[in-house]
Amino acid sequence: MKKIPEQIIKLISTGKVLDLGCGRGWATDYIHKDNYIGTTDIEFHKHYLHSFNIIIHRITSDNKLPFENNQFDNIIASHIIEHLDKQEVNNAMKEIKRVLKPKGTLILITPTGYSTGFNGNWTHWRPYNHGSLTGILRGYDYKNIKWGYPKIFNYPKFIQRYGRFLKIFNEFIFNEVIAYGENQK
């Protein structure tokens, strides 16, 4: 099971949740299936989530999410933003904002450049860290932004911000980052 901080579990366990790029569906461990819609661009992943509502959809620079405005209380975008170029990130953030309810929460999760698999994956456009991920949220007018590295999410921010300079821990502790914020439509 994926290590998810309690704060994130509390967020996604209530309300209607859209899981963009749901993959094999780690979030389904925490969300009731009636409140869950997942999207993936890989047909094979539907096999893992046969009892959940899964839609095949690819985020590009010009397509829209197949949902009504203000439909979701929470949106999870786990391990997708690093696969998008700048135009696709812009479109995805606009579309997420459109389908996320006012005061709804967007949760971004992505590998960092410290992840051993990041640089070996040709589909990765760029790495993110806590600064760049929170910058994206601020740039699209999200408020009450919080961030952390999942394995040490509740540690003081000073340790999370500067601990990565002790390079021996990077691929084990600082290999993934989470940032989330509240939609201010």
Q: pLDDT tens across 75-86, in order?
A: 999 888 998 899
Q: Cα(167)–Cα(114) distance, rounded to whole angstroms?
A: 9
* Model confidence at 1: pLDDT above 60: no
Q: What is the predicted pLDDT for the residue at 3?
A: 65
Question: Do 144 and 110 form a contact (C-beta atoms < 8 A)?
Answer: no
Is 79 inside any structural domain? yes
Q: Mean pLDDT throughout 144-171?
A: 83
Q: pTM for the whole thing?
A: 0.86
Is 24 inside any structural domain? yes
Least confident of 126-130, 152-156, 168-172: 168-172
Q: What is the predicted pLDDT for the residue at 104?
A: 96
Is 33 inside any structural domain? yes
Is 133 inside any structural domain? yes
Beta bridge partners of 77: 20, 108
Q: Is 123 exposed, middle or buried (0-12, 13-18, 19+ CB in 10 A)?
A: exposed
Is 106 inside any structural domain? yes
Domain that includes residue 43, residue range: 6-183
Is 1 inside any structural domain? no
Q: What is the predicted pLDDT for the residue at 34?
A: 80
Q: What is the pLDDT of residues 97-134, one digit of tens each?
A: 999 999 999 999 998 888 877 777 888 888 898 999 99
* Tally of domains within the chain: 1
CATH number of the domain at 25, please: 3.40.50.150
Between helices 86-99 and 130-139, what is the axis angle to 10°?
60
Q: What is the pLDDT of residues 2-56, one digit of tens each?
A: 667 888 888 888 889 988 877 767 777 778 778 777 776 655 545 555 555 656 6
Is 107 inside any structural domain? yes
Q: What is the predicted pLDDT for the residue at 176?
A: 87
Q: Taking the CB of residue 182, how many other CB atoms lie within 10 A of it?
A: 17
